[in-house]
Structure 1
């Protein structure tokens, strides 16, 4: 069983090279290129189809507008098709909240513990939510670990 896990871990590392990050989201480079090509092709194809078809059935002044609408409609259809075929690549890992995890987050985000605690104490709604989630107790433990 351990070998199977290690093989999966290795294959994940190999696949990671195929992913790129755009606007904070992880996407497959190949699927992104396919999606772009499909979107542009269908958009322009719809527009050109409209330029050919609409002069026969619509007023001359409306041909460009109808053609543009046909291209936009094609883009929306391709958006739906791509979202069905190309699923998200995110791997979400849920960790249990602990004072050590919170301390790492505070260091990474360069947050001031005392300032954050003061803001929590001033907002009863936030304080209540953090208590219900069990975060406030870990937050207080984190402060005691720092000697504050």
Structure 2
């Protein structure tokens, strides 16, 4: 197995975007920790757990976008006019 085919076997396509399985699992873990951490750290008043959970999800998204880079593959094709 060549290095290129090994790298290709680690990539999967989700919603028309190419991701590495390892990065996908890492992003799910990071977002779960930040979202649930915000939810459980919130005061027990009615809207606060939702608000803190949403803030945790945004923080998790920012962390993931800084550390996990896209794996997009662009293929140039000629169009017929």
Scaled by the length of structure 2, the TM-score of the pair is: 0.85
How far did residue 93 of structure 1 move? 2.8
Q: Within 2, Cα distance between the matches of 1:85 and 1:69? A: 25
Give the number of the structure whose residues are more often helix, by fraction: 1
Q: What runs of 5+ residues in structure 2 fail to find an aligned partner?
A: none
Greater Cα radius of gyration, structure 1 or 2:
1
Aligned Cα RMSD in Å? 1.6
Q: What is the CA-CA distance between 1:91 and the residue it aligns to? A: 2.1
Equivalent in 12, 21, 28 of residue 20 of structure 1: 12
Q: How many residues align?
A: 80
Provide structure 1 residue ranges, at least 5 long, that are not aligned to the other structure: 1-9, 56-62, 103-134, 137-148
- Runs of at least 4 residues of structure 1 off by over 6 A? none
CA contact (8 A) 2:11 2:19 kept: yes
Tell me the CA shift for residue 48 of structure 1. Answer: 0.5
